């Protein structure tokens, strides 16, 4: 099954919203386990960053929250390293995928 995952589902998990956390986490876990094929719209990542930053009142914490679900591919690791998120160069990703 292919599902577009709404921004609120992801926010439920990031922000541990009491009434919705468990079910939303289960949906994301199903995506991780490839039980369902989940995807988000292009604007979801920036929307989530903005909303998490606003909720936590911290840019650093918003980057860390993204890092919990995203791995970033960049040629400029030095700008992201302070946020403690997983970073890869294009070369590293190509090597990982080829294994």
Domain assignments of the chain as residue spans, ordered by start: 2-98
pLDDT at 29: 92
Q: Tell me the per-residue pLDDT of 54-84, one tens digit each, with 9 for 90 and over.
A: 888 988 878 777 666 667 788 888 887 777 7
Q: Tell me the per-residue pLDDT of 8-52, one tens digit each, with 9 for 90 and over.
A: 998 898 888 999 999 999 999 999 899 999 998 888 888 988 888
Q: Give how far Cα 45 sits from Cα of 1, 4, 18, 63, 99, Å.
A: 22, 13, 22, 11, 28
pTM exceeding 0.75 = no
């Amino acid at each position: 099954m292919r599902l577009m995952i709404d921004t609120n589902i992801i926010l439920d998990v990031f922000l541990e919203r009491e009434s919705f956390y468990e079910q939303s986490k289960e949906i994301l876990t199903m995506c991780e386990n490839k039980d369902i094929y989940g995807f988000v719209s292009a604007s979801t990542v920036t929307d989530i960053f903005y909303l998490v930053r606003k909720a936590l009142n911290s840019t650093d914490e918003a980057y860390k929250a993204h890092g919990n679900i995203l791995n970033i591919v960049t040629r400029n690791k030095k700008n992201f390293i302070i946020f403690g998120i997983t970073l890869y160069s294009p070369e590293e990703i190509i090597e990982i995928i080829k294994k």
